[in-house]
Amino acid sequence: MRALVEVSGDGLALLDVEGRFVMVNEAATQVLGLPAAELIGRSAPFVTTPERNGPSARHTDAWTAPDGRRCDLEYRISPVGDEGYAVWFSDVTEARRQQQRLAAITRAASRVAGSCSLRATLDAVAHEIVLTVNIAAVQILAVDDPADDLRVLGMAGFGEAPDFIQRLGACRRRGARVLFMEAIRTRKPVVVRHRKAVIMADPRWAPLHEIMDRPDWDDFVSLPLIVRDRIVGVINTYYVPGEDPCSGSLAFLEAMADHAAVAIDTAFLLSQTRSQAQEQERRRLARELHDSAVQQLFSMRMQAKALRAELDHASAGPATVCNAAEEIAQLSESALADLRRLVFELRPLDLGAQSLIDAVRTHAASVETRTGMAVRVRVPSGLEPDAGIDLQEDVYRIVQEALHNVVKHARATSVDIRFARAGEGGLVVDISDDGCGLGAAPGAAPGPAATPPRDRLGLVSMRERAERWGGRLAAGPRQSGGWTVTVTLPVTR
C-alpha cells in the first residue's frame, strides 16, 4: 500500500482533525511545491466541513506556493474515523485555463465574424485574453510602417490611455528599446521575463511609467499578426507575477493573434471594396452627366447659335424664333431634371435618422413625383430589417440603382418594390416594372437577342453590394413583360 501511494501520479495526503498535513506522497510535494518536511504540520488548502466530505464529491480550491506560483487544486476528501481526513488531489490549473482559452477563442471568432467596427472587435478580443486569468493587460497595435507611429486597435487592462501612442512615440525618440519591434522584424514571438522592473527603472520609458504601472504584471510576450504572409500588427501581452508564458498559453495567444489579424485584414479588404465601389460610382455619374446633361447643354448651345444666325437674317419670322426658343426651353428643362436627379442620388443617406423602409419610401415618392411613374412599396406587417447601417445602405443603393434603370431604360408606367422575409432572419427585396423588358426600341422584335441587358455596370454594382454580405442578386426580363431585380440576403444581422 505504501508503494502504491508513493508511485501515484496524483497528490495523496492525510490530515489531522484540525486540517493539518500529517502525511504526503511524492506527487503531493510536486503539486504543492514544498518538500514533505515543510508540509507536515502546515494547514492544508482543503475544506474539511462535513458537507465537503465524501469520496465521490469533487471540489476545487486555490493554492499559492511560497514561490508565488498559483494553481487550482481539484480534490476529494473523506474522513478517516475520528483521526482526520484522507485527501486525493491534482493540479487542474492548466486544464481549466485551456477551457477558458478555448471559450475565449470561440467568442473572439464570433466577434470577428459578426463585427462591423474593427476597434470594437479588437477591444473585445483584448478583453477576452485578459479574462483568461494569467494575463493582466493586452494591447493590439496596427503596423502600417514600423518607422512611423503605430495605431491602437484594441486594449484592455490599462484603464483609460487615449494618449498611449503619443507617449510610446516619446519613449522611442528617447531611445527606449521597444521589444515588440523584434516580433515584427523576425515574424516570431518575443518572450521577455521580468520586463516590468526593467521598464520602470529605465528613464527612457518615463513618459509611459504611469500607464505601465497600472496593471500588476511581470513577464512580457509579443506576437506578430500575420495574414496572407503580411505583417498587419502586433499583440502585446503582460503576464501577472508568478505566471510563466508556457507553451499552452503561447498557443492560445497565437490563436487569438490569428483572429485579430483576420479582423484587420477583413477591414482592409472591405475598405478596398468600398473604394472600388466609390470609383465605379464616380464613373457612372460621370457617364450619366455626359450622356444626359452635357449632351443636352451642347444641343442648347447649338440651338442658341442657330437662333442667333436666324436673327441675323432679315427674313427670320416670329414662328422660326419661337420654335427655336421652345426647343431650347425643352432641352433646358430636361437637363435640369437630370441634374436634379443626380443631385438627389449624391445626397448623403442618413439611415441613423430613419429606417431602411422609410428611406426607400421617401425615394420612391421622389421618383414618382419626378417621373409620373407609379412606384409602390409593399412591406409585410411587422417587417423591419434588423441589420447594421452599412448593410442597410447597400440595400438602399441597390433599390436606388434598380429604379434608376427603370426610369432610364424601361419606359414603364409602374414599379413594385416588395420586401419579404427569407429563412433564418434573411431579407428579400424584389423590384419589378411593367416596362419593355430588355429595353428594346419601340417596334423592335422581342427576345433576348434584341438588345443588350439593361446597364451592365449598374447590375455589376448591385451584385457586388449583395455579395459583400453573402447574398445574391438576380435580374432579367419577366415572362409576363417587364423586368425584375431580386436581391436575397441570407442573414440581415
CATH number of the structural domain spanning residue 187? 3.30.450.40
Rama region for 155: left / alpha / beta (φ>0; ψ in -120 to 50; rest) = beta
Q: String of b and e for 153-181 (b: at least 16 CB within 10 Å)? A: bbbbbbeebeebeebbebbbeeebeebbb
- Report angle CA 347, 351, 352 to the nearest 5 degrees: 120
What confidence score (pLDDT) does residue 315 get? Answer: 65
What confidence score (pLDDT) does residue 454 get? Answer: 53
What confidence score (pLDDT) does residue 55 get? Answer: 60
110 shares a domain with 51: no
| Domain membership flag for residue 213 | yes
160 shares a domain with 41: no
184 shares a domain with 100: yes
CA distance 304 to 331: 11
The total of other beta-carbon atoms located within 10 Å of residue 416's CB is: 16
What confidence score (pLDDT) does residue 444 get? Answer: 40
366 shares a domain with 430: yes
Do residues 151 and 144 lie in contact, with contact meaning Cβ atoms separated by under 8 Å?
yes
**Residue pLDDT tens, the chain, 493 long:** 566 666 666 889 999 999 999 999 988 998 888 899 999 999 898 988 776 666 667 888 888 877 677 788 888 888 888 888 999 998 887 767 766 666 666 666 555 544 456 777 788 788 878 877 688 999 999 876 655 567 888 889 998 888 898 999 899 999 999 999 999 889 999 999 999 999 999 999 999 999 999 999 999 999 999 888 888 889 999 999 888 787 777 888 888 888 888 878 777 777 676 667 667 777 777 776 766 677 777 777 787 887 777 777 766 677 777 877 888 887 787 777 777 666 666 655 656 567 888 889 988 998 888 888 999 999 988 787 767 777 888 898 899 889 988 988 888 999 999 999 887 678 899 999 998 865 444 344 444 333 345 556 678 888 888 888 888 999 988 888 889 999 998 865 5
67 shares a domain with 107: no
| Domain membership flag for residue 289 | no
377 shares a domain with 249: no
| Domain membership flag for residue 383 | yes
Final residue belonging to a domain, choices 36, 58, 91: 91
Residue 136 CB burial class (10 angstroms; 0-12, 13-18, ≥19): buried
Helices 295-312 & 318-346 angle (0-180, nearest 10): 160
| Element of type H or E holding 417 | strand 414-422
| Domain membership flag for residue 363 | yes
What confidence score (pLDDT) does residue 331 get? Answer: 78
110 shares a domain with 174: yes
**What are the residues whose beta carbons fall under 8 Å from the beta carbon of 295, sequence distance 6 or more?**
none
Do residues 153 and 119 lie in contact, with contact meaning Cβ atoms separated by under 8 Å?
yes
Strands (E), 115-229: 135-142, 151-156, 190-192, 220-227
What confidence score (pLDDT) does residue 451 get? Answer: 39
What confidence score (pLDDT) does residue 70 get? Answer: 77
pTM of the model: 0.47
Final residue belonging to a domain, choices 74, 91, 108: 91
| Domain membership flag for residue 290 | no
68 shares a domain with 82: yes
Q: Tell me the CA distances in angstroms from 455 to 285, 438, 462, one per residue in order.
A: 13, 10, 11
Task: Residue count of the chain, please give it.
Answer: 493
In terms of residue numbers, what domain contains 77?
2-91
What confidence score (pLDDT) does residue 473 get? Answer: 92
Residue 135 DSSP code: E
254 shares a domain with 183: yes
* Number of structural domains in the chain: 3
| Domain membership flag for residue 318 | no
| Residue 389, helix vs strand vs coil | helix
CATH number at residue 26: 3.30.450.20
What confidence score (pLDDT) does residue 52 get? Answer: 65
372 shares a domain with 456: yes
Final residue belonging to a domain, choices 91, 110, 129: 91
| Domain membership flag for residue 339 | no
123 shares a domain with 37: no
Do residues 351 and 392 lie in contact, with contact meaning Cβ atoms separated by under 8 Å?
yes
54 shares a domain with 169: no
| Domain membership flag for residue 478 | yes
